[in-house]
Amino acid sequence: MWCPTHVQVTVQKAECELFKGKNSTNDCFVTIALGKIKYETSVKEKAGRQVEWHEECELPIPDQGNTAEIILTVLHRNYLGIDEFLGRVTIPLHSLDIYERPKNKWYTLQSKTGSEKKNKERGKLEVKIGFTVKSGSLTNLSKKEKHKSSIGGLSAVAQSVGGSLMSLGSVEKRKGIKKFAKSIGSKMHLKVKKKGHEDDDSSVGSMGSLYNRVNNPEKFRSRQTLEDADPGVVSDEDEFTFDDLSHKSSASSLSQPSTHINASPIIKVSSFENITPSDSFKKIEEGSLPPTKPPRAELLRPQDEWESKLVGNKSKTPSRPGSSESLNRRSWDAASKLATQIEEDPKDLLEPPQTKKDKPKTPETPKKEEKEGMFSKFKSKNFRMDKEINSEHDKINNLRERIIIGGENETIKVTPTNNSKISNELLQKFKGKTREDLILELNESRSDLEKQKKKLKDLEDYLDDLLLRVMETTPRILQNPYVQCKLAHKQYSQST
């Protein structure tokens, strides 16, 4: 079943019947709230009865509870005091069909809860609601991708994550910023947003979060760090990813750059997985980790191998096209943070969801060596996961599937189905075989074939030789309708 993670709310327009401003106008805006997350549109000053926004935002669907509802509140901006209430719409999530195409719908503006008695004619609000999968549920991501070509899948992932793709257009970039701002946390978001409104009132088609870029250099910087970090993260894993790709999935269509693109958003996805937006910012800043947990101890074993690989990669990095050294250094830091974050996620998932919230913030340990160690652990873990996938690919339970974080595994899982040249049955046949196995098998088949060919040649030669003797001595038996003759002859002799 498709399980959306976000709800996309587009505030189109409103028809207000109440006016709080001068001359029957409103400085009208709408707040959109779901759970703890709240957005607001730009303020349309001196708006008449009809107000238009066409502004869109995306709210993460709360993990718990099925009583969540989207609350849209239409307000009149009072610059001196409290904003005045014009009406509101509450839309319980369970009343919406996630499979329905998003379409515009008018909702009647209601009074505040508790004051229903007044039952004033407040007007109505046109809203479009759709569901999307953003970060978080990798299960769903992979399911979605299976139906697309590899490139399509890539763009789907990239788009759903937003921001990290170099080729993303301005629209996507904007989305990315929005998205990031969201994940950074509502507190900061709200603060910035307010600032934004003071600076600029036009804000066409954008939520307050857009102002982040302009008004909040700190946030902007960190956003960039994260984005730029992606190539860095990937570059360190390219080798790993590629080995696996070429060996196991024979997805020759995947070029290196696309691996880049594919891997990076997923890493980002995983890093935000199951973390409420308000948490995520803090977490990234701290780069913290709970000290010791079972999976981590398990991962310590293969560390050395990867560490050596890591060192090798590190020296390689500066030569990568299109990446400056400073960028790399920066991305390295961010990458480690991401890795740390990723490292943390599976444990979150392994635990019941409730405990996650209560988890104590642990002291910071972002030392350089430590980071490297974590990174290698991350990779080795992926390696381990990969093994698991291969061995029991078909019956990966939900838990496991969610543990599979990071680009490589995701890519591996997706690419085979994308390769239209190889049927599923064929894939099934060779499932679980390593590259080595396949090479040996192929070699064996080839030598078998050679033997067969030689045998056939020998037989042909022998037949030719026999034929030759027949032709030289008794060609008569080579006459074509021979059997019939023989029969006829027999019949003839029998009858006589």
Partner 1 sequence: MSAGPYNYSYIFKYIIIGDMGVGKSCLLHQFTEKKFMADCPHTIGVEFGTRIIEVSGQKIKLQIWDTAGQERFRAVTRSYYRGAAGALMVYDITRRSTYNHLSSWLTDTRNLTNPSTVIFLIGNKCDLEGQRDVTYEEASKFAEENGLMFVEASAKTGDNVEEAFLETAKKIYQSIQDGRLDLNAAESGVQHKPSQPGGRPGSAAGGDQSGRDNCAC
**Is residue 476 at the binding interface for partner 1, with CB under 8 A as the rule?**
yes
Contact 24, 141 (CB under 8 A): no
Q: 120 vs 469, which CB is nearer to partner 1? A: 469
Which residue carries 């995947």 as its tokens?
Answer: 254
Q: 202 vs 473, which CB is nearer to partner 1? A: 473
Q: 428 vs 491, which CB is nearer to partner 1? A: 491
Task: Give dist(CA 384, CA 406) in Å, integer.
Answer: 12
One residue of 315, 473, 494, 496 binding partner 1 per CB under 8 A: 473
Contact 96, 134 (CB under 8 A): no
263 contact partners, CB below 8 Å, separation of at least 6: 233, 234, 237, 241, 406, 407, 408, 410, 411
Q: 300 vs 463, which CB is nearer to partner 1? A: 463
Burial class, 404, CB count within 10 angstroms (exposed 0-12 / middle 13-18 / buried 19+): buried
One residue of 420, 424, 484, 495 binding partner 1 per CB under 8 A: 484
Q: How far is the CB of 445 from partner 1 (least distance, A)?
A: 25
Q: How far is the CB of 131 from partner 1 (least distance, A)?
A: 58
**Site for partner 1, residues 437 to 466, rule: CB under 8 A:** 460-461, 463-465
Contact 8, 131 (CB under 8 A): yes
Contact 211, 196 (CB under 8 A): yes
Closest by CA position to 178, among listed 230, 223, 128, 233: 223
Task: Give dist(CA 367, CA 343) in Å, integer.
Answer: 16
Please give the DSSP secondary-structure letter assigned to residue 36.
Answer: T
Phi, psi of 263 (to 5 degrees): -70, -40
Q: 311 vs 471, which CB is nearer to partner 1? A: 471
- Map residues 170-209 to x or -, x wherever contact with partner 1 holds by CB under 8 A: ----------------------------------------
Nearest 5°: the CA angle 306, 311, 314 is 120
Task: Mark the segment that binds partner 1 (CB under 8 A) among 269-277, 337-345, 399-407, 477-485.
Answer: 477-485
One residue of 492, 494, 495, 496 binding partner 1 per CB under 8 A: 492
List the end-to-end C-alpha distance of the chain, in Å, as a whole number: 85
Task: Mark the segment that binds partner 1 (CB under 8 A) among 160-168, 287-295, 394-402, 473-481.
Answer: 473-481
Helix (H, G, I), strand (E, B) or coil at 444: helix
One residue of 113, 424, 474, 496 binding partner 1 per CB under 8 A: 474
Q: How far is the CB of 458 from partner 1 (least distance, A)?
A: 12
Q: How far is the CB of 480 from partner 1 (least distance, A)?
A: 4
Task: Mark the segment that binds partner 1 (CB under 8 A) among 49-57, 168-176, 294-302, 476-484.
Answer: 476-484
Query: Which residues sit opposite 448 in a β-bridge?
Result: none
Q: How far is the CB of 452 from partner 1 (least distance, A)?
A: 17
Number of shown-chain residues binding partner 1 (CB under 8 A)? 24
Closest by CA position to 335, among listed 366, 306, 363, 304: 366
Binding site for partner 1 (CB under 8 A): 460-461, 463-465, 467-468, 471-476, 478-482, 484-486, 488-489, 492
